[in-house]
Amino acid sequence: MAELRDLSGRTAVVTGSATGLGRSIALKLAERGADVIVNCSRSVSDGEATVSDCQALGSQSRLVQADVSTEEGCRVLAEAAGASGRLDILVNNAGITRHARDHADLNALSKDDFLDTYAVNVVGPFMMMQACRDLLVASHTQTGRAATVLNVSSIAGVTGIGSSVAYAATKGALNTMTLSLARALAPAIRVNAVCPGFIGTRWFKDTMDEEQYKRMEAGVAASVPLNVASGPDDIADTALFFLSDASRHVTGETLLVDAGMHLGYAPLVAR
């Protein structure tokens, strides 16, 4: 298994990787020997800290500030990856939401809320694959190994729960796009998705006080079959499977990583 996960000599781009799950994925890639391009749109100081931690693990890591909801931002990231002549790994992790947990309140979301969320969560991953396609194909041509794309989706896209109707809709669309592009881009590129449930990150912590967060975390753990509240590293470990040769014969998969939340009652929370 160690040989299957040796990522030395590979270049990776992880969007939205200054904090949270993206940061955890970037660090695990660096730990396995990959050179990681860290990305943020605003959190520059956090992004620099992630780069520093990746470099401490031996990675030739650097920060690229770019907004993946724009064609220019995606092009900037692709150009950064192009310095090595190919791109082996692309993780479409960047995502946003508009919090409107009462899904029956149809006035809680505007047209712009939907369009902004789609721009980052669906159009962004598509434009990243569009901008990086030639580099990903070059990886396959040079190594004989399919390049790999991982879309970070959510249980919200499978069950319709989550922070808002708009967010759940975007993740459902991302899951469908994963299937479409896995078929269309094979055999040069593998495309898969992970669908986390609850993840203990700033995604929630920034929207509530510490006591509220602790109560929610305890409630999540009590409501799922595995009786745990997942953290970023728990999901990143699964991501690493899709990004390594351990999954070399896997494409078009959307894997729930939710401690069993989908099996029974789940609170109205999701990444």
Residues designated as active site: 167
132 in Cβ contact with 66 (< 8 Å): no
CA 50 to chain centre: 16
Tokens representing 32? 């396995």
CA 88 to chain centre: 16
Pairing outcome for strands 89-92 and 11-14: parallel
What length does the chain have? 271
The answer for residues whose C-beta is within 8 angstroms of residue 79's C-beta and 6 or more apart is none
**Amino acid type, 121:** N
236 in Cβ contact with 194 (< 8 Å): no
* H or E segment to which residue 65 belongs: strand 62-65
The SS3 call for residue 52 is: helix
**Amino acid type, 260:** G
Cis peptide bond N-terminal to 187, omega within 30? yes
Q: Counting Cβ atoms within 10 Å, is residue 202 exposed (0-12), middle (13-18) or buried (19+)?
A: exposed
Q: Tokens 């190594």 map to which residue?
A: 143
* H or E segment to which residue 89 belongs: strand 89-92
